[in-house]
Structure 1
Amino acid sequence: MGTEKIADLQATAAYNFVPLGPEIVPAEFVHVQEEAGHPAWPALEKEQQQACFSKHVRETGKNSGWLELDITALTPLLVGGASDNGQFFAPLDPDHPALPGSSLRGLVRSLVKILACGAMRPNDDFEDKNLYFRVVAGYGNDALKTHYDQLTEAEQGGSSAGFLVKRQDGSFYISPCQVERLSSQSATRQDRPIIQWKKVKKKNGEEESIATTTNGPMMDRKKHIIQQARYQFFHGRFSTKYPVPSKLIYNYDNDPLHADENWASKNKAIDLLDPKWSSEDPDKMTKDPQAVAVVPCHFVLESDGETVRSFGHGPKYRIPYANAIQKSVPKPLRQLPEACADLADAIFGVSDLWSGRVSFEDARLTSAASYEAPSLPRPQMVPRTTAYQMYLEQGRSSGAATKHWDSKDATMRGYKFYWHSNAPWKKQSEDPPIKNTKEIQPLQKGAKFHSRVWFQDLSDVELGALCAAFDLGADDHTAYKLGRGKAIGMGSIRIRATLHLQDEDAKYHSFLGTTGQLCHVLKDGALKTYVQAFEAYRTKNLGSLAEDFQKTLLALQDILDFTPVTQEKAARDAWNQQIATMSVTKDPDKRFARHVVLPDIRTVVRQAKEKQQPSEESS
């Protein structure tokens, strides 16, 4: 370990989390329905909810028009990906790049959900699944090691050996078998796990298919293989069939170690659902005419002794958490639109219920298309939800995390945002090489874009919620993040919004202009007037919880603050260090492996300011 005690260590990352709101603030028509003495919103049929929405739009949707957006890139910008020459990727050619309207829509919708205390829904705001993990050697206070041993029944001897069988109807079962660990001394060393089959003749003359599995190699610091476990699976008892739940198959298939080809290759993983590892004659081997694939595996049964809890390639395989991600989100915030529609639902629409009333144009470049010199980008450590010390509330700002995804009081930290930074995006000499990385040419900072956000038939509160997302950037201190490379200093933009409203009374009298084109008749619309109407509605609905929500607003303001990037060089360098991505391999304190806690947004900002005070006083 490094020079500091683990209790004093803190994780650092290019991202952090804006806390969830205390509860959902419902859309206006949800309240109107209940206040009128009608059945509560969740009790209504789909057609009745649609009728409530339509009535709301007819009676209160008096605001139509557009928001004029002037956008400036404050750091290099790369949106959507890289074209063949590595330049800024956009719907148009490299000489006329644009910011996709869909990207702007996603940014604004996320901000509206936060500002309007929206829902945090599975498979809408986050991918809901049971994450996989493995703990072979835990640290002294690693809460996950004990949990892993419990789920794999380590004290009872651990996993059992068996054959995983897939049937024609897509169902799976596991039949137990005998297993023998083989000596690896005379075997040919493999650089990755494999499964090999052979047929042997039994005493009665029948053939038996025997599988030999080779696990991934264990290497020393010089990358020399020092150990490689091999097992032989035989004598399957196929009359015994333990069903494998379809959800377990789904979670296994979606574990990045199997679903992500790049990650699987990097980690030299084996996918038991890949038919290439199957016996050639699964139906004959299992005496099951419906069998289409069979592979050797290790598994653990549920406490009932009848259903498979988990399975994997080797004896110490990755297992799923018992709880899905959504269990970490407070139940009231998980409500679907049918149970509690929020303001984001009302504005942006809900599939199968009603359409949205906003439309985002692509932002067209209004300045010269100037690109950075081509270069390989710095490596980016992709944040993964398996890092529970980063994604879950821990109740502390330093030391080792104690709460994982199966902890009783596990709570998701909130919405992920990236800090603003001017750290160099280009690969540095000390950075490790990354395979298959191509040179990129992001658009230079200073690039200017213009766009419009069209809206139709919004109420004062709904228009205020939409405007509030842009009102955050009304000063020079706030900026937004868009596109790729957020973790390496790219994607910071400033947005200036001007509100234009159609005069509903006048537009029918001047529908056509002298040129025969549709006229836009405008009336004065101060953006802040509508923001204030929205904020009053939010405060009224939150009641006593409004004060708690201030923590969310302050955290959002802090992580959108561009001020640290505009400081003197020494202060900027210190800030970049404060939010630097931890190295998994070169960190002397092994903070990532030790599951050291990531402090919250307010703590990061406070500590950064405290570090600057001595230098400011001396100067």
Structure 2
Amino acid sequence: MDKRNTEAKPNQRMAAKAPYNFVPLNICVVKAQEVPSFSKFYKDRYSGYIELEIETITPLFIGTKEKCSQFFSPAGKPRIPGSTLRGMTRTLVEIVSYGKYGFCDKSRRLYYRAVAGSSSLDKSYRELFVDRNDYFKYKFSAGIMRKEGNTYRIYPSKFCEKTQIYRIEFNNLPDELKDKKPYYFEVVYYKPVSVKVHKHSKVNLKYAKITSISLSQDSEHPQRGYLIISGNVEKKKHMHWIINEPEEHNYIVIPEKKIEEYRNDEKRDPSFDILKILNECGEVPVFFITDQANNVIAFGHTGFFRLSYDYTIGEHIPKNLQSDDVIDFAEAIFGKAGQTNSFASRVFFEDAELIETPENLENIFLTETSPKILSAPKPTAFQHYLEQPEGVQTSKDKLHHWNTKEAKIRGYKLYWHRNTPDEPYHEHSWSEGKIIKDSEQHTVIKPIGRGVKFKSRIRFENLSKEELGCLLFVLDLPDGYYHKIGMGKPLGLGTIKIKPTLFLIDKKIRYSSLFHEDEWELGIERKETLQDYKSDFEKYIMRNIPDEEKDNANSLWETKRLKELKILLCWEHNNCVGWLEKTRYMTIGDRAKKIENEFRKRTVLPKPSEVIQGD
């Protein structure tokens, strides 16, 4: 970023940045027209196909399940899957038609760990785990988990010197216990000590600290217990846990609901999965918290473990945007699944094939390489994914989080177009410039280059003029506005230009005879202009949304929400000063490399229109 951009506005320097942003949720759902019967064709409805010419504006990669590094190529011919085009189109249809929100798993519950921040969420987390009025003395318990039959039980650790739990410095461990694994536990012996206050650089903390342990019992190390290494030593984790052995005749049954909650945490590192380790070892040390009735609320592999939020994602979506009583345009066109009131799709997406197949297919591909690591903020970054109160900027303010009952999700997540360089030495390049195999975080891809053209068809049956107009509205974007598909979208891959052409079938002619001269009678396919259909769709939506949604707009693209969508689809932002810097992922931080943790203040992600202000 040059001087002009860094001195733009104070609030812009404070704001978060990301390669994605959100189209806000709509207030109401526009009801679709009646879904026709599938047993006949209608005079006032349309059948035919939309021919798509697709050109890659940036490199494109769509992998296969069997071999991720290879581009999707059935029978050795590169293609864009029809399912990929269908998913992209349906999302845009939901947005522009003011439909129900179907962009995520609404039953999913997110998980968090908030130890050191200053937000209300961090404070409520710490209230569960430590007593801030007593030098942050631990409020959680420890024990050994075992599975007996179908029941999971925790046998709480004994109390020695009035505590179950101790800490020990990594440097005080015997050499044979200085393993490099991110998690492991070992039976050890030590002399119990009582809890007292210990001075740290920024705060005084109250805990029991052991300075010597042994792998065998002797007079200096009489007590048996468990050493738990709960984090990667190489990342400067220097304090580790010790817990006392359990009371063998005393146990707490873990409710099945809490076991399911633990299993559903998809983002947990498998190395720390207690249930998996339990199956392998027969028992495993755990830390846990209970309610006043001594029921287990949650458990984990370390003293400060991940908790599930109180509310699911669906509970942060307005109920009217989830109602099963209304059929919106997306359902009407793409079909509706379910046990009741279900019906099939009336659109069918074909794979996109190369328009011109070169003699050597390798000419359309870039060199196989490893893309840069996608260290994306997850949905738990609530300062990005949830609507925040007006004027709130950082964690110093009262941020909404996933435990805030009234909080709403930001909307539909889409990625900015980013014209990132192919050259690996560039700061914002998408490529590492080489294949990196000895890394769990890197993958290997062989993308198609820029300027490669494909063709595809979307066949449709019995669509109303407005439904057909809806499809054309999201496919036939204004000049300079492009779509995005495939892998690596945050890195700048996947930008495509689509040119649709409409063909309609005269059903009366097609089905009145079998042949036309020496060929099949196809119904005289007619090439049609698009604007009339798009205009009828626009008029339908504008008639059915409230004035608050219109915001005095005269056209659909000028409504409040679609202005934000249009900004996200615009390619020309790449000409803005510092655009790649403004739309990169923020850094998590690395003290050793003196890289700042840009997430520390939990700055709020601005709206798309706010991102481009001043450009």
Give how far 1:7 is off: 9.7
Which residue of 1 is the match for residue 607 of structure 2? 600
| 2:225 maps to 1:215 | no
The answer (yes or no) to whether the contact 2:153–2:252 under 8 Å persists in 1 is yes
Matched AA of 1:469: V
Which residue of 2 is the match for residue 519 of structure 1? 522
Matched AA of 1:582: M
Secondary structure of 2:71's partner?
coil
Which whole-Å deviations, capped at 9, do the CAs of 1:68-124 have from their partners, x for residues lacking one? 10111111111125986945333342xx31111010000001000111111114xx6
Give how far 1:498 is off: 1.0
Give how far 1:241 is off: 3.4
| 2:254 maps to 1:254 | no
Mark the CA change 1:541 to 1:327 in structure 2 (over 3 Å): closer, same or farther.
same
Which whole-Å deviations, capped at 9, do the CAs of 1:351-376 have from their partners, x for residues lacking one? 23111111001000113441223333
Which residue of 2 is the match for residue 69 of structure 1? 52
Secondary structure of 1:256's partner?
coil
Give how far 1:544 is off: 3.0
What are the equivalent positions in structure 2 for 1:445-484 lying under 5 Å apart?
445-471=450-476, 473=477, 475-484=478-487
Mark the CA change 1:244 to 1:424 in structure 2 (over 3 Å): closer, same or farther.
farther
Q: TM-score, normalised by structure 1?
A: 0.78
| 2:480 maps to 1:494 | no
Distance 1:252 1:323 in 2: 15
Matched AA of 2:562: L
| 2:388 maps to 1:414 | no
Matched AA of 2:537: F
Give how far 1:318 is off: 1.2
The answer (yes or no) to whether the contact 2:36–2:462 under 8 Å persists in 1 is no
Distance 2:79 2:514 in 1: 31
Q: TM-score, normalised by structure 2?
A: 0.78
Matched AA of 1:483: G
Which residue of 2 is the match for residue 326 of structure 1? 314
Matched AA of 2:230: G
Which residue of 2 is the match for residue 590 of structure 1? 597
Which whole-Å deviations, capped at 9, do the CAs of 1:10-57 have from their partners, x for residues lacking one? 21111111111112212223xxxxxxxxxxxxxxxxxxxxxx753898
Mark the CA change 1:85 to 1:462 in structure 2 (over 3 Å): closer, same or farther.
closer
Mark the CA change 1:511 to 1:300 in structure 2 (over 3 Å): closer, same or farther.
same
Which residue of 1 is the match for residue 217 of structure 2? none
- The partner residue of 2:62 within 53, 68, 79 is 79
Which residue of 2 is the match for residue 118 of structure 1? 99
Distance 2:146 2:382 in 1: 33
Which residue of 2 is the match for residue 285 of structure 1? none
Q: Percent identity?
A: 29
Matched AA of 1:366: I
Which residue of 2 is the match for residue 228 of structure 1? 240
Distance 1:150 1:225 in 2: 23
Which residue of 2 is the match for residue 531 of structure 1? 534
The answer (yes or no) to whether the contact 1:214–1:230 under 8 Å persists in 2 is yes
Which residue of 2 is the match for residue 362 of structure 1? 351
Give how far 1:135 is off: 2.0
Distance 2:152 2:36 in 1: 45
Mark the CA change 1:396 to 1:346 in structure 2 (over 3 Å): closer, same or farther.
same
Distance 2:68 2:298 in 1: 45
| 2:198 maps to 1:194 | no
Mark the CA change 1:418 to 1:10 in structure 2 (over 3 Å): closer, same or farther.
same
Which residue of 1 is the match for residue 286 of structure 2? 297
Distance 1:599 1:462 in 2: 33
Distance 1:332 1:460 in 2: 26
The answer (yes or no) to whether the contact 2:465–2:537 under 8 Å persists in 1 is yes
The answer (yes or no) to whether the contact 1:347–1:356 under 8 Å persists in 2 is yes
Give how far 1:387 is off: 1.1
Which residue of 2 is the match for residue 577 of structure 1? 581
Mark the CA change 1:7 to 1:506 in structure 2 (over 3 Å): closer, same or farther.
closer
Distance 1:85 1:591 in 2: 32
Aligned length: 534
Distance 1:190 1:103 in 2: 45
Give how far 1:153 is off: 6.2
The answer (yes or no) to whether the contact 1:180–1:233 under 8 Å persists in 2 is no
- The partner residue of 1:137 within 105, 116, 128 is 116
* Structure with higher helix content: 1
Distance 1:393 1:606 in 2: 20
Which whole-Å deviations, capped at 9, do the CAs of 1:485-506 have from their partners, x for residues lacking one? 1111111100011111111233
Distance 1:430 1:562 in 2: 20
Secondary structure of 1:28's partner?
coil
| 2:145 maps to 1:150 | no
| 2:329 maps to 1:307 | no
Moved more, 540-549 or 98-107: 540-549
Mark the CA change 1:272 to 1:226 in structure 2 (over 3 Å): closer, same or farther.
closer
Mark the CA change 1:511 to 1:544 in structure 2 (over 3 Å): closer, same or farther.
farther
- The partner residue of 1:316 within 300, 304, 310 is 304
Distance 1:385 1:225 in 2: 26
Distance 2:450 2:392 in 1: 34
Matched AA of 1:443: I
Mark the CA change 1:17 to 1:223 in structure 2 (over 3 Å): closer, same or farther.
closer
Mark the CA change 1:470 to 1:359 in structure 2 (over 3 Å): closer, same or farther.
same
Which residue of 2 is the match for residue 399 of structure 1? 394
Which whole-Å deviations, capped at 9, do the CAs of 1:332-389 have from their partners, x for residues lacking one? 1122x3x222111111111231111110010001134412233332222234111111
Matched AA of 2:493: M
| 2:365 maps to 1:371 | yes
Give how far 1:444 is off: 1.0
Mark the CA change 1:21 to 1:167 in structure 2 (over 3 Å): closer, same or farther.
farther
Give how far 1:424 is off: 2.2
Moved more, 179-188 or 294-303: 179-188
Mark the CA change 1:320 to 1:450 in structure 2 (over 3 Å): closer, same or farther.
same
Mark the CA change 1:111 to 1:419 in structure 2 (over 3 Å): closer, same or farther.
same
The answer (yes or no) to whether the contact 1:81–1:484 under 8 Å persists in 2 is no
The answer (yes or no) to whether the contact 1:389–1:403 under 8 Å persists in 2 is yes
Matched AA of 1:329: I
Gaps of 5+ in 2: 1-5, 159-163, 190-222
Secondary structure of 1:454's partner?
strand
Mark the CA change 1:66 to 1:150 in structure 2 (over 3 Å): closer, same or farther.
same
| 2:562 maps to 1:553 | yes
